[in-house]
Structure 1
Amino acid sequence: MAMASSQHELGPKDWHPGSWLAKPATQQPSYPDADKLASAIQTLRSMPPLVTSWEILTLRQMLAEAEEGKRFVLQGGDCAESFAECDSNTISSRLKVLLQMSVVLIHGLKLPIVRVGRFAGQYAKPRSADLETRDGVELPSYRGDIVNGPEFTKEARLPDPERMLKGHSHSAMTINFIRALIDGGFADLHHPEYWDLGWVDHSPLAREYRRMVEQIGESVRFMETLAGPIGNFSRVDFYTSHEALLLHYEQALTRQVPRQTGFFNLSTHFPWIGMRTAALDGAHVEYCRGIKNPIGLKIGPSVTVDQLLNVIDALNPNNERGKLMLIHRMGANKIVSALPPLLEAVRKEGKHVLWSCDPMHGNTESTSNGFKTRRFDNIRAELDRAFDLHQAAGTHLGGAHLELTGDNVTECLGGARDLSEIDLTRAYKSTVDPRLNYEQSLELAMLIVRKSGR
């Protein structure tokens, strides 16, 4: 894609991959052994990249088209991956759900879908406190498998920099398996039965989904009968994303590549900055402003117009399309008051951004029996209101950002099976945040179709 200026091609003159070290860095683990950290970083710098620069630039072009209303972005996956779940069934189940949701969206929106997984690197998580106390025992908080272990023991909770090497290897295994599935025809529209999840055979939503697939299949076969093979229905484009939280890891995989100028983060196609680390003068904004990847920025109800505009200028100084996605996560009860001033300011200033809605993180609560959960009615309400608010503001909602799984979990209340607090005890598997299951995910995809008005 065409670049706006030679400065953009070369990158900011006052930036280099380690310039974040001079800025306040929040949400970083405290490693007890500096030599071990240095050794792990040096090893990581020599390891192969996980993605390529041309894949990153292709995604940027697709995001630019989504900003113009020509595509819709579906970003989804686990709240936090675990090393233990780097297995073929878990990975393929996540992929199946995203493929099925994208078919629903294609059928209803009549638009190409950009599929971005929250996996192959989503091993770090921000925490509200550095320490956790249980029964009078205080230990470091669990910050994701790339930092420490979830078990509440001194040994498991000690931050270990060698876990970054395990994070790289597990990310590589995940993305290579996904590529092999897609290249092998797993995503072939002629064979959607490959995507079936056995545990949902009797779901009403599954039956509705299959009717959509049959209609698409009939359309494909009809067109191929008339004109022969058209396009490539046997594979899809798929991209990875994760929160750029652990900056030593991100820096070590930030590289220059042949025949391209500037620096690419080659650990993922699409890194994002979380709400806890989005300070204008902070290390995460400093790091992300210099890479050529498209960047996501989570924004919550406490963000002011001036704060948002200043961070937009820092991350996308040349105001390029496809560079910056703003992912609002307000909560169902706050979005009506918090979002419109931001939409108006960004539109009025002529900022090129792609808007996406994360209806998950602003709706987290704890139940009376001690589970961290989200109510599907609130998730659905926030997404529904987001479409209405964008329409009223004259802006375009071009994506959705969801935490979901293909497993038969009971972590979010409500949905097609009307899960209750008692149901949470049956199959609550997440170590961090509650995720949508298959039925709840499909139901949201169908809501997006209805709200699009197409």
Structure 2
Amino acid sequence: MGVLRESLAVEAAQQPQWSTRERLDAVVDELRRRPPLVDAESCHALAAELEFVARGESFVVQVGECAELFADSSRARIQAKAAQVHGLCEIVEAVGLPTVRIGRFAGQYGKPRSSDTETLPDGTALPVYRGDAVNDLAPTASARRADPLRLLAAYDHAASGLNALFMRQLLLPGNSGLSAMLAPTYISHEALLLDFERALVRPDPVRGGEYASSAHMVWIGERTRQLDHAHLAFAAAIGNPVGVKIGPTARPEDVVAIVDRLAAGRRPGRLCLIVRMGVDAIADRLPHLVTALGESARDVVWLSDPMHGNTVRTNAGRKTRVVSDVLREVERFCAVLRRHGCHPGGVHLEATPDPVSECLATRADLASGAEPDRFESACDPRLNGEQAEQVVRHVAELLCDG
């Protein structure tokens, strides 16, 4: 509990201004009494699979929502997303590389934001939407109030989503052949809301210590990876596999300190560095980080997040991402790591099985003034099913070339 207590004593960025402290305390007490959402055994199973990735013998496909809505926890929605992850993994497996399936769902209910408020077209200023675990997307003052009771709803919806996922993977009598072919799909989300995450820490009956029972894997975002802040202390305290987002402003000495704190003395693959630098920065910035890490660079899992560093605005001001930029960032990610003798370990994509048009195909489309005509994301633009397949097929080709 030492490091976990430390995470309570230091600053935590990106935390909501909850409506009442008394209600938050009651919610946290209730969450502490609830059963774990995932068990320690399955977290260790994922850790074992990630060790193979760190050794260059497997590949991670981590896919799912930007900001997951509570409505997306229905059985049909979760199973559709799991089927998308499964199909994308089959593309990689077709070139002879085993995969690790990780979904960004059944818990991705919180979002960090660059501003505390947003201004509506009529000039009204409102608290910004921070995910369904905090407030509602509807643009009204009452909807945007940070309500601690939504943390209980987040638990309930995550439990419902996990149940749907496990039903898909369950070995059923008379259907064991089909079910046995389905490799497990693990769940992950950003460990942003520390009141929620800390309340779901549980004793680890397998290896001792404690683990985060909210998901098999959690990651720390680019906005919350400060060395002296609470999110990194939380990640150090738990036994789960963890990730840290690494953007273009990351300093080599900071990345070395993060790896020392979260990976030193642990099995290879315990830490995923999720690189999100943007197509224009990655070829220049990533080599300095890999070089600074030295031999430690071969003990972490390197994941490419080619989405977040490539967010741009259309002429009308709407967020979008350009698929050709996504493809080129993945290419440069793989090239840099291979030059340094490291394994490109996977991709981390915001995508949906729905036929949205939130991302444009090329820079020419952006320059022409094209606008996404079916934008359904609660926050950032996602790849649709065809675009996600395009990215993963390109990755598979790069793996073959290597």
Answer yes or no: same fold by TM over 0.5: yes
Match of 1:139 among 117, 126, 129: 126
Match of 1:430 among 372, 377, 392: 377
The SS at the match of 2:378 is coil
Aligned to 1:302: 249
% same residue: 38
Q: Could you tell me how far apart the structure 2 residues matched to 1:396 and 1:428 are?
A: 35
Rg bigger for which structure? Answer: 1
Contact 2:66/2:382 (8 A) holds in 1: yes
Match of 2:2 among 11, 14, 39: 14
Match of 1:360 among 282, 307, 315: 307
Aligned to 1:369: 316
Gaps of 5+ in 1: 1-12, 192-231
Q: Could you tell me how far apart the structure 2 residues matched to 1:297 and 1:428 are?
A: 28
Structure 2 residue 327 is matched with structure 1 residue 327? no
The SS at the match of 1:275 is coil
Structure 2 residue 262 is matched with structure 1 residue 315? yes
Displacement of 1:52: 0.6
Match of 1:39 among 26, 33, 57: 26
Q: Could you tell me how far apart the structure 1 residues matched to 2:184 and 2:119 are?
A: 44
Structure 2 residue 39 is matched with structure 1 residue 52? yes
The SS at the match of 1:27 is coil
Gaps of 5+ in 2: none
Count residues in correspondence. Answer: 395
Aligned to 2:141: 154
Q: Deviation digits for residues 201-259 of structure 1, max 9, x if unmatched?
A: xxxxxxxxxxxxxxxxxxxxxxxxxxxxxxx7532111000000000000000011435
Aligned to 1:398: 345
Contact 2:49/2:100 (8 A) holds in 1: yes
The SS at the match of 1:272 is strand
Q: Could you tell me how far apart the structure 2 residues matched to 1:253 and 1:125 are?
A: 19
After TM superposition, list the pairs within 5 Å mapping 1:122-133 onto structure 2.
Answer: 122-133=108-119
Q: Deviation digits for residues 273-305 of structure 1, max 9, x if unmatched?
A: 000000000110011101000110100111111
Q: Could you tell me how far apart the structure 2 residues matched to 1:83 and 1:184 are?
A: 27
Q: Deviation digits for residues 99-158 of structure 1, max 9, x if unmatched?
A: 1111111002x1221000001100000000112222332221110000001111111111
- Aligned-residue CA RMSD in angstroms? 2.0
Per the normalisation by structure 2, the TM-score is: 0.94
Contact 1:347/1:395 (8 A) holds in 2: no
Q: Deviation digits for residues 32-87 of structure 1, max 9, x if unmatched?
A: 31100000101111111111100001111110110001111110101010012322
Q: Could you tell me how far apart the structure 2 residues matched to 1:45 and 1:85 are?
A: 25
Change (3 A) 1:58 1:22: same
Displacement of 1:348: 4.4
Contact 1:364/1:373 (8 A) holds in 2: yes
Displacement of 1:400: 0.6
* 1:401 aligned partner, one-letter code: H
Q: Could you tell me how far apart the structure 2 residues matched to 1:403 and 1:258 are?
A: 33
Contact 1:147/1:160 (8 A) holds in 2: yes
Match of 1:387 among 331, 334, 343: 334
Contact 1:240/1:268 (8 A) holds in 2: yes
After TM superposition, list the pairs within 5 Å mapping 1:50-449 onto structure 2.
Answer: 50-108=37-95, 110-134=96-120, 135-183=122-170, 233-349=180-296, 352-414=299-361, 422=370, 424-425=372-373, 427-449=374-396
Q: Could you tell me how far apart the structure 2 residues matched to 1:303 and 1:442 are?
A: 30
Change (3 A) 1:154 1:398: same
Q: Could you tell me how far apart the structure 1 residues matched to 2:123 and 2:394 are?
A: 46
* 2:33 aligned partner, one-letter code: S
Contact 2:111/2:131 (8 A) holds in 1: yes
Contact 2:74/2:160 (8 A) holds in 1: no
Contact 1:319/1:352 (8 A) holds in 2: no
Report which stretch shifted further, 366-375 or 131-140: 131-140
Contact 2:40/2:205 (8 A) holds in 1: no
Displacement of 1:328: 0.5
Q: Could you tell me how far apart the structure 1 residues matched to 2:91 and 2:340 are?
A: 27
Contact 2:19/2:148 (8 A) holds in 1: no
Change (3 A) 1:58 1:104: same
